[in-house]
Amino acid sequence: MSASITTNHNDSGYNFAYLDEQTKRMIRRSLLKALSIPGYQVPFGGREMPLAYGWGTGGIQVTAAVIGPDDRLKVIDQGADDTTNAVSIRRFFETVADVAVTESTEDATIVQTRHRIPETPLKEDQILVYQVPQPEPLKKIDPRETETRKMHAYGEYGAMQVTLYEDIARFGRIAKAYDYPAIVNGRHLMSPSPIPKFDNPKMENNPAIQLFGAGREKRIYAIPPYTSVRSLDFDDHPFEVQSWKGCCALCGSTESYLDEVITDDKGSRMFVCSDTDFCNTRQAEKTATAVADDQASGEEA
């Protein structure tokens, strides 16, 4: 037995995108079913990946099943291309798929993300792959899959509404800042993964294909393009997103999701865009305009 395996020991034995072809076929079949039943979690035979469960194995398997030599891959974590886990996943695909990578949302054909949807609007044919730690939005209501599966089967989401209403009774609002559940295509309750609720509206009627991979829980689900995604709310307490008083300290944006950065040990802080590509692009544009303005005013004088 050992002899047949030893040929694979060295680095050269891995298939394109790490997974063997049979595994890719299985994931691909699951992806097509996921798109056919928007928001429904398709169980799939998730494999162990060389990254730890909870660190993006679901997203990685989905990307590995989808990616080809013509793709340009962007990987973000917390909106940023240079966070450690994003770097690590990007390097994984550079190594096992020899694929072109980019930090530009605009140029990417596939964006794998953890915890954010890029600020730059996505286009048709682009694919957004979400890493999902816990795909079951009803888990907090009942930890048993045997129970939550029935709730999804019969669309019985009353218990979820009750939980949210308890928040309103207690806090005067729905106390949920991220992983805010939504109903997809008017039927399935879905976890959007731990994106801030700020990003929820971006999922609706998006021209791009949104795929969700939960590796440890072995579930795949999807939102097709141009699909209704309604964040749960109540008539007297409509869904609303976060907003900030100030703007990004680097690019001046007032429309993006801001991270709070503590700048010294006295607790001073600043707010900057979590989406680094969006922020860098805006900064570059500002510099270019400033230079152009300088030149223009110079010519006038």
Partner 1 sequence: MAYVAVKGGEQAILNTHRLISETRRGNQALAELTLAQISAQFGLAVDRVMAEGSIYDRELAALALKQAQGDMIEAIFLLRAYRTTLPRIAASEPVDTSEMAIRRRVSATFKDIPGGQVLGPTYDYTHRLLDFALAAEGLERSQAVVAAAPLDEQVPQVIDLLDSEGLIEEESDDGQEEVFDLTREPMRFPAGRDQRLQNLARGDEGFVLGLAYSTLRGYGHNHPFVGELRLGEVMVEIVPEELGFPVAIAEITVTECQMINQFRGSAEKPPQFTRGYGLTFGHNERKVMAMSLVDRAMRARELGEDVRYPAQDEEFVLSHADNVEANGFVTHFKLPHYVDFQGELQLVRQLRAEHEATREAAQMKEAAE
Partner 2 sequence: MTIQSSTSLRAVTSYDASLKPGFIDPVFDAQAVFRASLLATAYPGRVVSLDRSFTAPRPFSPATAALCLTLMDFETPTWLDHQTSCAEAAQWLGFHCGLAVAEGPMAARFAIVTDPLTMPRLFEFHPGNVEYPDRSTTLIIQVPSLTEGPPTAWTGPGIKTSATVGIGDLPFWFWSDWDLNGELYPRGIDVLFTNGNALMGLPRTITVEA
Residue type at 192?
Answer: P
Binding mask 19-58 for partner 2 (x = CB under 8 A): -xxx-xxx-xxxxxxxxxxx-x-xx---------------
Q: Residues of 134-165 as b/e, b for ≥16 C-beta within 10 angstroms?
A: bbbbbeeeeeeeeebeebbeeeebeebeebbe
- Residue 59 CA to residue 51 CA, distance in Å, equals 11
For position 100 contacting partner 1 by CB under 8 A, the verdict is: no
* Nearest CB to partner 2, comparing residues 160 and 251: 160
For position 201 contacting partner 1 by CB under 8 A, the verdict is: no
* Contact partner at residue 31 from partner 2, partner 1, none, CB < 5 to 8 Å by partner kind: partner 2
Within 8 A by CB and 6+ apart from 113, the residues are 59, 75, 76, 77, 128, 129, 130, 131
Tokens of 255: 């429309």
> Which 10-29 positions form the footprint of partner 1 (CB under 8 A)?
13-15, 18-20, 22-23, 26
- Residue 114 CA to residue 194 CA, distance in Å, equals 8
For position 84 contacting partner 1 by CB under 8 A, the verdict is: yes
* Contact partner at residue 150 from partner 2, partner 1, none, CB < 5 to 8 Å by partner kind: partner 2
Q: What does residue 125 show for φ and ψ, rounded to 5 degrees?
A: 75, -15
For position 150 contacting partner 2 by CB under 8 A, the verdict is: yes
Out of 257, 278, 281, 282, which residue is the one contacting partner 1 (CB under 8 A)? 257
Q: Shortest Cβ distance from residue 205 to partner 1 (Å)?
A: 23
Q: Would you call 247 a catalytic residue per the annotation?
A: no
Out of 54, 91, 123, 124, which residue is the one contacting partner 2 (CB under 8 A)? 124
Residue type at 268?
Answer: S
For position 98 contacting partner 2 by CB under 8 A, the verdict is: yes
Out of 49, 164, 209, 272, which residue is the one contacting partner 2 (CB under 8 A)? 209
Count of CB atoms situated within 10 Å of the CB of 227: 18
Q: Are 129 and 59 in contact (CB under 8 A)?
A: yes
Count of CB atoms situated within 10 Å of the CB of 207: 12
Judged by DSSP in three states, 29 sits in: helix
Q: Which residues bind partner 2 (CB under 8 A)?
A: 11-12, 14-16, 20-22, 24-26, 28-38, 40, 42-43, 65-69, 95-98, 124-125, 127, 149-150, 152-154, 185, 187-188, 207, 209, 224-228
Positions marked catalytic = 39, 248, 251, 273, 279
